[in-house]
Amino acid sequence: MKNISIDIETFSSVDLTRCGVYKYAESPDFQILLFGYSVDGGEVQVIDLASGESIPKDVLAALTDDEVIKWAFNANFERVCLSRHLADLGLSLDPIHDNHPLSTNCACFLNPAGWRCTMVWSAYLGLPLSLAGAGAVLGLDKQKMAEGKDLIRYFCQPCAPSKTNGGRTRNLPSHDRQKWEIFKAYNIRDVETEMAIQHRLRNYPVPELVWDQYHQDQEINDRGIALDMELVENAIQMDTQSRNELTAAIQHLTALENPNSVQQMKAWLADNGLETETLGKKVVAELLQDCPPELREVLLLRQQLAKSSVKKYIAMKNAVCADGRARGITFPRYSVRDYFAISINEDHRLKIKRAISNLVNGVWGSGKKPMCRLPISIENALSNETPNSPTKLHSPTKPVSNVGE
């Protein structure tokens, strides 16, 4: 066993989009429902954990073996969720670390060194950062199933209790066997699509240097950042108090139901002789220069209300884990779009776009095999380096006619 391609389906009452995968997997009701996998490119298997099946012992052992490379699309999700699953089984997440004589504590997450992420690979080549998007651009035979979103909402998220569903707050496989079988097929297809992306991009590998950066990023995210939650809570409380006071003051002066409403405020200003198309920062600053005193007071209060924002503190509160550390909040820069927008000039950026366009449309979009190498390879796009330009991207060394075969 050298490689495993993995995709999982999970349940948690924590909102993944608001709180991130670390807090999501920390929820007491977190559960892996389906474990889809393929060993060394073989037939995809699905383990129905929700129905009582178990992951084979050799696969469990491979998850903690850094010599076996684990592949997934957005591998951070699979790695963190499987860390929780293995911990619940009482298994060591990193036997080498845990058994080292100098270790003072056990690993909390599976070692990222044994993982590769197909989403990072896609981002490196400027492809979409979703499994469905990457599969569509590459024209894969096996695309991600469109039914997935509805099935995820049904099985992976809490449901509202009602008379129709008997007051339950979660849908189990037994509540709709037909949907569950489709969900298992969806899990299998995701693994097949991820493997197809690997196969299609095999002639354009990610350099080991970038994988090293990815692993370092994962270690940083696993470690997290300690937060002063007393400060966070007090900041949110102070903001709430300030907003309430400012809102009450504006309501007292204007009698508006919602002082935050741009339409209501514009209408009130118009009724008082001050016409404006917008209440943007610059426009309000200009209005304050020559407006009547009674309107000036209202605009100043609204300015203060607009400045009162603690979204970052709220995000910290949402993401913080039980140990007081926020995880998953660094921003890796593996996308050529993000990287080059900052690191190179416009001329080089246009060359990169043309190279990627040729790569996608010329090779995979037409369905035909070009008889020559890539016209403008990513390496050629950077051939006219400036003194401060970044390290070259990896360039394919094989003829383009081999791509996708």
pLDDT digits (tens, 9 = 90+) for 167-185: 999 999 999 999 999 999 9
Do 183 and 281 lie in a common domain?
no
Structure tokens at 324: 């007081």
Do 171 and 242 lie in a common domain?
no
Q: Which residues pair with 70 in a beta bridge?
A: 4, 115
Per-residue pLDDT tens over the stretch 206-234: 999 999 999 999 999 999 999 999 999 99
Do 296 and 376 lie in a common domain?
no
Do 138 and 8 lie in a common domain?
yes
Do 16 and 143 lie in a common domain?
yes
Do 263 and 181 lie in a common domain?
no
Residue 289: its pLDDT value, please? 87
Residue 305: its pLDDT value, please? 82
Q: How confident is the model at residue 369 (pLDDT cuts 50, 70, 90)?
A: very low
Residue 55: its pLDDT value, please? 97
Do 289 and 358 lie in a common domain?
no
Q: How many helices (H) and strands (E) does the chain have?
A: 17, 7
Amino acid at 220: I
Whether residue 323 lies inside any domain: the answer is: no
Instruction: Give the single-character DSSP code of 227.
Output: -
Q: How confident is the model at residue 353 (pLDDT cuts 50, 70, 90)?
A: low
Number of domains composing the chain: 3
246 contact partners, CB below 8 Å, separation of at least 6: 259, 301, 304, 305, 308
Could you tell me the residue range of the domain that residue 358 belongs to? 336-402
Residue 380: its pLDDT value, please? 43
Do 36 and 127 lie in a common domain?
yes
Whole-number percent of the chain with pLDDT over 70: 80
**Measured CA distances, 98 to 88, 94, 105 (Å):** 16, 6, 7
Between 331 and 9, residue with greater pLDDT: 9
Do 208 and 240 lie in a common domain?
no
Do 79 and 136 lie in a common domain?
yes
Whether residue 247 lies inside any domain: the answer is: yes
The answer on pLDDT for 30 being more than 60 is yes
Asked if 359 and 125 touch (Cβ cutoff 8 Å), the reply is yes
- CA 148 from chain center: how many Å? 17
Do 234 and 107 lie in a common domain?
no
Mean pLDDT calculated for residue range 104-133: 93
Asked if 29 and 13 touch (Cβ cutoff 8 Å), the reply is yes
Q: Which of 14-23, 90-99, 132-141 has the lowest mean pLDDT?
A: 90-99
Mean pLDDT across the chain, nearest whole number? 83
Do 147 and 284 lie in a common domain?
no
Whether residue 178 lies inside any domain: the answer is: yes
